[in-house]
Chains A and B, each alone.
Chain A
Amino acid sequence: MTNRFWFLGLVIYILVFVGLGTLQGGLLLLAIPLLAYLGLALYFSPGSLDLTVTRTISTDNIPENRPVTIKVTVVNHGNALEEVLLEDLVPDRLTLIDGKTRRRLAVPAGGMVEIEYTVSGPRGKYRFVGIRATATDLFGIFQRQKFFPAPASVMVFPNMTQLRQIHIRPRQTRGFAGPILARRGGSGVDFYGVREYQIGDSPRRINWRISSRHEQEFYSNEFEQEAIADVGLILDSRKQTNLIRDDATLFEYSVLAAASIADAVLQEGHRVSLLVYGFGMERVYPGYGKIQKKRIMRSLAQAEPGDNYALESLVYLPTRLFSARSQIILISPLSNDDLHPLLRLRAQGYEVMVVSPDPLDYGGRLRAQRLREQTTRGDQSAQSDKSDDFNSLVLRLAQIERALLFGNLRRAGIQIVDWKVDQPLSKALHAVIIQPSHGRMVLEMSQ
């Protein structure tokens, strides 16, 4: 029953009681048109709803802000519905681009209705639960509402930038052929050393110059094996490191970096795993290729910054999730407390690289933008010189603190990519100076 029913009921009630109270039969008669109206509405009130709902989605995996078309087909197996409102319950964060998510119409018995619309949205997993059907009589007095499930989900993957090549050089490589020099003799391209000839060696590999100096022995050239490596990506989703302001977070940039690096490293053929560390520990086990890329993207799509007192520090990073002496890439804005956990990782034999979206630069730009907006609005209180001086000093101190942290990390052989998020990620990675670590080249990146 709708509000109109209660309204009419109240009017009829008043008319009848006033009529009875004042002994005015005319007032009772005045209520008769309303009663006739109500009676007819009751007679034609909708019966039970018997609908079948099916949902078709053009694709269940889409990149961020790309359109996806959703089609809902409703078939009426019951009686004819004089007026029915069909509403597809669309998740709030999705934006309607085209079409309608609700239709109000008449559906005959056995009739079919289609609701088709296009939506897009930011990264995440979106669940469509079903449609809500509200049937009413033509007077809109009586209504019957029912929910019909039509579950489906759409995964919106995070955006990523194309990074042409990332060369890494962890201490430990895997057995399969790949792009990384494995510091082991075997088949390869680069000269590695000379050893005594063994049965089965190709005569082409015999080093004749050295063999000629010995009477009985032959010597063969050995080449350095090229293998793939284990790469562990750690995405820092701790709220306290990512949140700049209540409405601004660096986390989306961290996700972008993680997705781009995962894509580039997987393209090189490495075995990649992911750990989202923050509210909980979301883990994608190591794997190769396109399927692994999809797994990682799925995990990144659902990653959200969060608070967890147990995981406030990187001290609790579960290092045993990563292969010994493998490459670890941490994507985090970093805080001062993160120095020792990273040094510990390095001490355990991991090659560590940190891609750090710069929170100070980002915060500074946000503040400048806000000041500009306030100035445009004519808010003079925003232009306090004293406050500006104080903020500049605070920013300067924070920058010094961050520089010191980076200096300490670099001294430990950790590669730092200080990414100012208004610049392209590929440019920031390209700008990293290749530093020898322990006399070896550990990292080389090129766009």
Chain B
Amino acid sequence: MSRINTIRQIMFNSLTRKGLLAAIFVATVLLTAGYGLGKLWLEVPAVFLVGILWGVCVLRDIRWVASLLFVVMLGAAAVGYMARLSHLLMLAVGCTLVLAWDLHQFEGRLLDLEEQATIEMEKNHLLRSLMVLGASFLVIAADSWLQIRIQFVALVFVTVLVILVLNQIILLARRAGKPAPPKE
């Protein structure tokens, strides 16, 4: 059974797997380059090792680390941003990390899928992920020539807006509570 799964993985998950490894590689290289350019030499190997660790976990089919490593690397990007490293690189890291995290999660679900559905679904999923990536890169491109300034009033306004949105999301989540399965 495990052999069949392995074959399925090679046959059907190759696109997702390749995309996942590529995303991790790009994110690691960009993050390392950002820290390198900022001459934070102590952090460079640590960041690089985290990327390598994620890659190894992907190859060993360890899925639970995806969210943890995603947060670690995103945190590294945020810290880099605050340390006045290259903003463009850090934003690019953010985009590729989202892609890597999503592909890692999707690969886990892919094993559970029917073979006929897999190829089609894999294509659709990758297409949608690329849409996210494209939209994010557009924002990065815009960031390169747009200067956003936030005044105190705007800050308060944005904070209130965020609180309201989060409140609405929580209400929505409560309403869409799972229906309990009927007793046998």
Interface residues of A (CB under 8 A from B): 1, 4-5, 7, 9, 11, 13, 15-18, 20, 22-27, 29-30, 32-34, 36-37, 40, 44, 82-83, 85, 89, 91, 103-106, 127, 129-130, 132, 138-140, 144-147, 149
Query: Cβ of A103: which chain B residues have Cβ within 8 Å of it?
Result: 114
The 3 residue pairs across chains A and B that have the minimum distance between CB atoms: A33-B136, A105-B117, A105-B114
Partner of A26, one of B74, B87, B162: B87
B98 at the interface (CB under 8 A from A): yes
5 contacts between A and B (CB under 8 A): A33-B94, A33-B133, A82-B121, A103-B114, A130-B182
Query: Cβ of B155: which chain A residues have Cβ within 8 Å of it?
Result: 20, 23
* A33 contacts B98, C-beta separation under 8 Å: yes
A26 smallest CB distance to B (angstroms):
4
Cα–Cα, bound, A104→B135 (Å): 29
* B179 contacts A147, C-beta separation under 8 Å: yes
Closest-by-CB residue of B relative to A100 is B114
* A106 contacts B184, C-beta separation under 8 Å: no
Cα–Cα, bound, A296→B95 (Å): 68
Secondary structure dominating the interface of B: helix
* B136 contacts A36, C-beta separation under 8 Å: yes
Query: Cβ of A36: which chain B residues have Cβ within 8 Å of it?
Result: 132, 135-136, 139
Interface residues of B (CB under 8 A from A): 67, 71, 74, 77-78, 81-82, 87, 90-91, 94-95, 98, 102, 105-106, 109, 112-114, 116-117, 120-121, 124-125, 128, 131-133, 135-136, 139-140, 143, 148, 150, 155, 158-159, 162, 166, 169, 173, 176, 178-179, 181-182, 184
* A9 contacts B117, C-beta separation under 8 Å: no
Cα–Cα, bound, A4→B120 (Å): 23
Contacts A7-B67, A30-B74 known; A104 to B114 CB distance under 8 Å? yes
Cα–Cα, bound, A16→B67 (Å): 19
* A106 contacts B112, C-beta separation under 8 Å: no
Closest-by-CB residue of A relative to B102 is A139
Cα–Cα, bound, A130→B155 (Å): 52
Cα–Cα, bound, A147→B181 (Å): 7
Cα–Cα, bound, A105→B105 (Å): 16
Cα–Cα, bound, A16→B136 (Å): 16
Closest-by-CB residue of A relative to B98 is A33
Query: Cβ of A29: which chain B residues have Cβ within 8 Å of it?
Result: 87, 91, 94, 139-140, 143
Query: Cβ of A147: which chain B residues have Cβ within 8 Å of it?
Result: 179, 181-182
Cα–Cα, bound, A30→B91 (Å): 6
| Residue among A9, A18, A26, A33 having the largest count of chain B Cβ atoms under 10 Å | A33
Query: Cβ of B131: which chain A residues have Cβ within 8 Å of it?
Result: 40
Partner of B184, one of A7, A89, A138: A89
Partner of B82, one of A20, A22, A32, A144: A22
Closest-by-CB residue of A relative to B149 is A25
Query: Cβ of A89: which chain B residues have Cβ within 8 Å of it?
Result: 181, 184
Closest-by-CB residue of A relative to B159 is A20
Partner of A40, one of B128, B140, B143: B128
Contacts A29-B91, A82-B124, A140-B109 known; A37 to B182 CB distance under 8 Å? no
Cα–Cα, bound, A103→B117 (Å): 11
B23 smallest CB distance to A (angstroms):
12
Query: Cβ of B78: which chain A residues have Cβ within 8 Å of it?
Result: 15, 18, 27, 30
A48 smallest CB distance to B (angstroms):
11
Query: Cβ of A129: which chain B residues have Cβ within 8 Å of it?
Result: 181-182, 184
Contacts A89-B184, A140-B109 known; A32 to B166 CB distance under 8 Å? no
* B114 contacts A30, C-beta separation under 8 Å: no
* B87 contacts A44, C-beta separation under 8 Å: no
Contacts A4-B105, A82-B121, A138-B121 known; A24 to B179 CB distance under 8 Å? no
Query: Cβ of B124: which chain A residues have Cβ within 8 Å of it?
Result: 82, 138
A sample of 4 more A-B contacts (CB under 8 A), given A29-B91, A30-B81, is A18-B78, A27-B82, A30-B91, A140-B105
B173 smallest CB distance to A (angstroms):
5
Closest-by-CB residue of B relative to A6 is B173
* B102 contacts A37, C-beta separation under 8 Å: yes
A28 smallest CB distance to B (angstroms):
8
Closest-by-CB residue of B relative to A15 is B78
A297 smallest CB distance to B (angstroms):
22
Query: Cβ of B87: which chain A residues have Cβ within 8 Å of it?
Result: 26, 29
* B81 contacts A26, C-beta separation under 8 Å: yes
* A33 contacts B95, C-beta separation under 8 Å: yes
Closest-by-CB residue of A relative to B183 is A129
A114 smallest CB distance to B (angstroms):
11
B91 smallest CB distance to A (angstroms):
6
Partner of A149, one of B102, B125, B179, B182: B182
Cα–Cα, bound, A22→B71 (Å): 19
Contacts A1-B173, A37-B132, A140-B105 known; A25 to B150 CB distance under 8 Å? yes
Query: Cβ of A15: which chain B residues have Cβ within 8 Å of it?
Result: 74, 78
Query: Cβ of A23: which chain B residues have Cβ within 8 Å of it?
Result: 150, 155
Cα–Cα, bound, A129→B128 (Å): 37
Query: Cβ of A18: which chain B residues have Cβ within 8 Å of it?
Result: 78
A96 smallest CB distance to B (angstroms):
14
* A30 contacts B77, C-beta separation under 8 Å: yes
* A9 contacts B169, C-beta separation under 8 Å: yes
Query: Cβ of B117: which chain A residues have Cβ within 8 Å of it?
Result: 104-106
Cα–Cα, bound, A10→B67 (Å): 12
* A139 contacts B128, C-beta separation under 8 Å: yes
Query: Cβ of B176: which chain A residues have Cβ within 8 Å of it?
Result: 1, 144
Partner of B112, one of A32, A82, A104, A130: A104
| Residue among B77, B90, B128 having the largest count of chain A Cβ atoms under 10 Å | B128
